[in-house]
Amino acid sequence: MAYTQARKSKTKGTRYIGYYLDADGKPKVAGTFASDDEALRVAREQEDHVRDRRTGTPPAEKATITIEEFAKSRFLPRIEITPKAKQTYKSHLKNHVYPYLGRERIAEISREQLYTHLATTLPEAGATLVTRRAVRTVLSSMLQMAWDEQYRHGNPVMTIKLKKVPAKPVLVSTHAQWNRLEGALPFRAALAYARLNVTTWARQCEMRTFRPCDFEFGPTTMINITRSASYVTADNHPEGHAGWVVQPNAKNGDWRRFAISAQMTAMIRQHIEENQIGNEDLLFPQWMFAFRRPSTGATVLKGEEMPPPLTSASGKIYEHGTMGARFTMNCHCDHCKAYAAWYARERRASARKASPQQRVRADVWRRDGSEFLSDDVWSRIWRAACGTAGLPQEFTPYNARHTGISWAVEKGVDLGRIRQRAGHGSLEVTSRYQTILDEKDIRLAESLEDIFQPSSDTAG
């Protein structure tokens, strides 16, 4: 028969231990609890569970499991989200939950503790409002699962409200700025990528997955956005290694299909033909953007003072910037290091059997061997072009999507059609782009200036 026993603690006051009888009639501990009623309830449920030989998680384990244990054993393995989202959840738990609340029991954590953590502890630790709202989302999802699986009663995070993150202006470019940006891109593949991005409004995770088979070429060419790809770490990858994970749907879950212009169609056709891209090959693979430039063969650096020649023990003289000086005499001056770098490039080029005068594919450093265009490679090209075009540093590749949508709003395209093409979750998201036009509207400013115009009476 279940029973309890009080125990005094120096730090937590009086605690109560719940006991139950196992199948052999021996007393077992169900756990230690803050109240006598809770200890007795869990002990009785555990005793019934053992006596009736029920399956599933024992009540004693449900009552004593900590937040960190529940997150690692139940929440993260069972929650149905994308690997990229799960990676983000793990990061928030590791950095903002486990160090503070990880040892608290999930059945006993109170709203006051959770509110104090989100509203006081995390701000004092330097967490931004964006981070705190993200942590709140993770905690709410985890406690909801714990409630659904009867590990606790209720989800107190649902009643905790945090301030909204102040909306920032959507940064877009004018037509003239975009033309300068396109003119600064270094090669035609980069131009095709940027143009397709600004006209289809595809997200970067969707752009990198495009293949020729996604285009229905004809009098009116249609494009299908049906995939998205994200790079995740080994512990979040389904195959257990760091690499790309391709989802069989766009980012928001819905496939999108719409027409593209004849000019864009011609550019994509030319891109496919020039690069001999197969129907199932990636339209913008990594090698196309992360290429090696051929070596000039220069082994003597201009503007660098040339040291005196080296003389070997046998009396042979070696000039700097030669194989003898670098390898025989083991010289590490700038000229000899330049020769060594050139020699290594030539050896690699020879091994690849590629002409040193042509652009050749770079080795993709992804260990899984995929050729998806990574964010860092495209960002380097993008930032350089933005700098040349005079665009601000804050104008990121994602702003190409914002720019294209804002142009459509400016032309008066129906917001419902824009929402479908952009893949927005709601019309409210699409309507935010209307504020961009309001920001540029000068009529209100001019009407206010009329106040300061001299009247006809005072003018006389």
Closest CA to 205 of 372, 368, 376: 372
Same structural domain for residues 245 and 330? Answer: no
| 365 in any annotated domain | no
Same structural domain for residues 152 and 71? Answer: yes
| 416 in any annotated domain | yes
Same structural domain for residues 143 and 81? Answer: yes
Same structural domain for residues 197 and 110? Answer: no
Predicted local confidence at residue 449, as pLDDT? 63
Same structural domain for residues 262 and 382? Answer: yes
Predicted local confidence at residue 209, as pLDDT? 95
Domain boundary among 159, 178, 209: 159
Same structural domain for residues 388 and 460? Answer: yes
Q: Count how many domains the chain has.
A: 4
Domain boundary among 336, 360, 384: 360
| 62 in any annotated domain | no
Predicted local confidence at residue 298, as pLDDT? 52
CATH number, position 183? 1.10.443.10
| 304 in any annotated domain | yes
Predicted local confidence at residue 343, as pLDDT? 85
Same structural domain for residues 36 and 147? Answer: no
Same structural domain for residues 182 and 260? Answer: yes
d(CA 143, CA 107): 9
Predicted local confidence at residue 292, as pLDDT? 47
Predicted local confidence at residue 366, as pLDDT? 42
- Model pLDDT for residues 395-426, shown as the tens digit of each residue: 999 999 999 999 998 888 999 999 999 999 88
Same structural domain for residues 446 and 392? Answer: yes
- Model pLDDT for residues 164-199, shown as the tens digit of each residue: 988 777 888 989 999 999 999 989 999 999 999 999
Same structural domain for residues 267 and 382? Answer: yes
| 89 in any annotated domain | yes
CATH number, position 111? 1.10.150.130
Same structural domain for residues 119 and 237? Answer: no
- Model pLDDT for residues 431-442, shown as the tens digit of each residue: 888 776 665 555
Predicted local confidence at residue 56, as pLDDT? 81
| 428 in any annotated domain | yes
Predicted local confidence at residue 47, as pLDDT? 85
Predicted local confidence at residue 88, as pLDDT? 96
Predicted local confidence at residue 368, as pLDDT? 39
Predicted local confidence at residue 357, as pLDDT? 46
Residue linked to tokens 């104008």? 395
d(CA 356, CA 345): 9
8-state DSSP, 285: B
Residues of the chain with pLDDT under 50: 292-297, 356-369, 444, 459-460
| 57 in any annotated domain | no
What are the structure tokens assigned to 459, written together? 């003018």
- Model pLDDT for residues 316-327, shown as the tens digit of each residue: 888 888 888 888
Name, in order, each residue with C-beta under 8 angstroms of 284's C-beta and a sequence gap of 6 or more: 189, 192, 193, 207, 208, 210, 373
**Which structural domain range is residue 195 located in?**
170-287+373-460
CA 12 to each of CA 16, 42, 98, 279, 370: distance values in angstroms, whole numbers, following the listed order = 11, 20, 21, 67, 55
Same structural domain for residues 383 and 270? Answer: yes
8-state DSSP, 143: H
Predicted local confidence at residue 90, as pLDDT? 96
| 427 in any annotated domain | yes
